[in-house]
Amino acid sequence: MIRDLISTAQLQELLDAGRAPVILDCRHDLAQPDWACDVFVDSHLPGAILASMDDVLSGPHSVGAGRHPWPSIEQWRAQLATWRITRDTPVVVYDQHSGMFAARAWWLLKVSGHDQVAVLDGGFRAWTQEGRLLESGVTQQEPAASLESVADIEFDRTRLLTAEQLVDARDAGRPIIDSRAADRYRGENETIDAKAGHIPGALNRPFGLNLLPDGRIKPADDLRRELTELLRGSNSDQAPVFYCGSGVTAAHNLLAMELAGLPGAAMYPPSWSGWIENADHPVATGEQP
């Protein structure tokens, strides 16, 4: 069963056996919106479908939703029907290498009740470095499935918090964890969003700490040790809530939690970019939560 993380060798075995999952190409560049489409046409994994961060993995903007707004359940159901993905469809998602963008697609599927989804460990870079088969051009997709086939799909709203729910959770002692780089957390180097700093009370766990130098994800035992230590510092036994800049890299920490055997964590999807769209929301800077 495909679940949470898959190696290049495991995916190759599925392709060779004629049991290909739906493969979503989630490569993205925050600074170059058209980059993903260009590199996809140039080369991608066999049978892969382009899953645009801006057009597919995000919804339309509204105040407080952040730079990558969470899609509505209606939008997400329609997209799953287009991809012919039902609850029983195995899915593999990948990006350039680290999984920072692929994890967004993984979390969208995971939190809508889809268990058979995995991030490709090492992504496109690992696949190509190993000399595995690639395709080019635009993948021809089957006609969309009926909306009836995905009508029962719903988001688990207990794992997707609003700003109000985030504040209530924090005030009740639930750990809130910022997934951005430490300098952005401290408010020292903000080059993307209009304000610098972090949500008051949040701890910091840069998603890059989940990775080995080659871009693959650390062993589960290492993740469990590191994350357990982080949560111990919060003095709470409640499952944490993660956020980042726009609800993308926070999903990587959620993936790490699942791999570490620490389930139940949630996300604040608007993240920092959504938080600061409300002028009344306080901002903290420096090392301390």
Determine whether 267 is exposed, middle or buried from the number of CB atoms within 10 Å of its CB (0-12, 13-18, 19+): buried
The predicted model scores a pTM of: 0.96
Please confirm, yes or no, whether 244 is among the known catalytic residues.
yes
Q: Can you give the pLDDT at residue 145?
A: 86
Q: 47 and 20 in contact (C-beta within 8 Å)?
A: yes
What residues does CATH 3.40.250.10 cover in the chain? 4-150, 157-275
Q: How far apart are the C-alpha atoms of 176 and 225, rounded to whole Å?
A: 18
Per CATH, is 4-150 categorized as 3.40.250.10? yes
Q: 207 and 277 in contact (C-beta within 8 Å)?
A: no
| Cα dist from 70 to 76, 120, 129, whole Å | 10, 23, 33
Q: Can you give the pLDDT at residue 136?
A: 96
Mean pLDDT, the chain cut into blocks of 10 residues (289 residues total): 95 97 96 92 97 96 96 97 94 97 98 96 98 93 86 96 98 97 96 95 97 97 96 85 98 98 97 97 95
Q: Can you give the pLDDT at residue 33?
A: 83
Please write the tens of the pLDDT for every residue from 9-63.
999 999 999 999 999 999 999 888 889 999 999 999 999 999 999 999 999 999 9
Where does 157-275 sit in CATH, by number? 3.40.250.10
Q: Report the DSSP pairing between strands 203-204 and 176-178.
A: parallel
Q: Which residue out of 199, 244, 248, 250 is catalytically annotated? A: 244
Q: Is the dihedral of CA 287, 212, 230, 100 positive or negative?
A: positive
